[in-house]
Structure 1
Amino acid sequence: MTSYAKVVVMGTPITKSNFKLINKEGRSFLPMNSGKYHDRYANYEQEIAFTAMSQNPGLVLDESLIAILRVYYKSEKRHPDTNNITKSIFDGIEKSGLIINDAQITRLVIEEYYDRENPRFELELFGDSEFNLTYQVLKRETPLPMKSYDLASNKKGEMRIKPKPVKKSDVISGSNCCSVCKKPISGRDFISADAGRTIICRSCFNKLL
């Protein structure tokens, strides 16, 4: 029997990490078919369960598992916290019968991507007896623009991309141009503004005065 499964569920994943209803006995429960907005959490788990069964008919993974979860959000600015969506996803996978219990997931890798047209999650499950997981963290040769999270925006899952400032050494080497006349700048005869993202040669700067 195979020890591998893949589940792809279309739509933006939702999280129930901050949602809880308490019954008369003091136990938390997940309501469904109440006709209210919070039915969406149970409905989402049911969708995951149905999709997992239809994509892996008759398969049951009963050993410890390695999980690779790739989440594709519709928007880079607003989306659930990625580390919180795993509860909804694995509860749905457990309800499908594809796994016995989500405690089987002993190693988990989560990757975040963006796809405006087709938001979804893709989950791959690998049996620990047949597969192994290795990974590397490598330093980039050319750094990317930094994604900086503000305290206020982080509550909404938002971020701002922090542009890389212009260094004096970059300007001196002639790798930048004046923002006004577009001519290459050499030497130190320039004015920088906007945290170094805008540079103006001395000639253009004098004309602006």
Structure 2
Amino acid sequence: MNSSYAKVMVLGSPISKSNFKLFNANGRAILPYNSGHYHDRYALYEEEIAYQARSQNPNVVIEEGVIAVLKVYYKSSKRHPDTNNITKSIFDGIEKSGLIINDAQIRRIIIEEFYDKNTPRFELELFGESEFEMEYKIKKRKVPEEKVIYSPPSNKARVSINSSSKKETEASVNSCSICGKKIKGNDYITANKGTSIICKACLGRGF
């Protein structure tokens, strides 16, 4: 039935799609579903979101423009995905559930980040614009809170080499993230934004 409101809660540490893409030899992104390895986690997470969205909102379909309020609860403040990347991951699963028609319906969104060591999760509320409107304001605190300071991400260890021998040297000192074998030459692709290497043999078996 058509509706103007839905709420979804999915337990577990939220994950970002960008961390689970592989890249083929042509640089094209691949999102694996059945490789039997670590990268399948995102596809399973998306399926869980779709299942929970539908089971928690039986027969509900929102067809209009939507205001979304997303609360993301991580295990720790020290290490977690970028919250701005989480939205795509979540709405892919919500769209797959049929709760909304297309994630382009999300016209306004509020995202809040929290921490819950014991119960990491996300909570999402969807409000149809025909019945709901959004108001917000930002005001100066009467009593300032302690600042949360963010540091630049640490660079992955890389061998310093000249451009003519870069690919060969990098590959020779790295192992396949799946099978663990040393990689020589150019028989590999990169994954996880260049931080993981997959040999072509594993790529052929998994995809």
Percent sequence identity is 67
Residue aligning to 2:60: 59
Residue aligning to 2:50: 49
Quote the offset at 1:153 in angstroms. Answer: 6.0
- Give CA deviations for 1:88-142 in whole Å, capped at 9, x if unaligned: 1000000000000000000010000111111100000000111000001010000
Any conservation in 2 of the 1:72–1:121 contact (CA below 8 Å)?
Answer: yes
| Structure with greater helix percent | 2
Alignment of 1:167-182 (within 5 A): none
Q: Secondary structure at the match of 2:69?
A: strand
Residue aligning to 2:115: 114
The aligned length equals 155
Letter in 2 for 1:8: M
Q: Secondary structure at the match of 1:122?
A: strand
Q: How does the TM-score come out when normalised to structure 1?
A: 0.69
Question: Partners in 2 of 1:148 and 1:142 — Cα distance?
Answer: 18
Question: Which stretches in structure 1 are left out of the alignment for 5+ residues?
Answer: 156-209
* Structure with bigger gyration radius: 1
Aligned-residue RMSD, C-alpha: 2.1
Quote the offset at 1:150 in angstroms. Answer: 1.3
Q: Which has the higher contact order (CA 8 A, sep 6+)?
A: 2
Question: Partners in 2 of 1:46 and 1:24 — Cα distance?
Answer: 28
Question: Partners in 1 of 2:31 and 2:94 — Cα distance?
Answer: 16
Question: Partners in 1 of 2:153 and 2:98 — Cα distance?
Answer: 40
Residue aligning to 2:186: none
Question: Partners in 1 of 2:115 and 2:87 — Cα distance?
Answer: 17
Answering whether residue 26 of structure 2 is matched by residue 12 of structure 1, we say no
Alignment of 1:5-154 (within 5 A): 5-21=6-22, 28-152=29-153
4+ residue runs of structure 1 moved beyond 3 angstroms?
A: 21-29, 152-155
Q: Secondary structure at the match of 1:38?
A: helix
Q: 1:80 to 1:25 in 2, by over 3 A?
A: closer
Q: 1:60 to 1:16 in 2, by over 3 A?
A: same
Any conservation in 1 of the 2:21–2:32 contact (CA below 8 Å)?
Answer: no
Any conservation in 2 of the 1:17–1:87 contact (CA below 8 Å)?
Answer: no
Q: How does the TM-score come out when normalised to structure 2?
A: 0.70
- Give CA deviations for 1:3-60 in whole Å, capped at 9, x if unaligned: 1000000011000124433579986442212211100010000000000000001111
Question: Partners in 1 of 2:90 and 2:133 — Cα distance?
Answer: 22
Question: Partners in 1 of 2:40 and 2:79 — Cα distance?
Answer: 22
Q: Secondary structure at the match of 2:109?
A: strand
Q: Secondary structure at the match of 2:38?
A: coil
Q: Secondary structure at the match of 2:55?
A: helix
- Give CA deviations for 1:153-208 in whole Å, capped at 9, x if unaligned: 699xxxxxxxxxxxxxxxxxxxxxxxxxxxxxxxxxxxxxxxxxxxxxxxxxxxxx
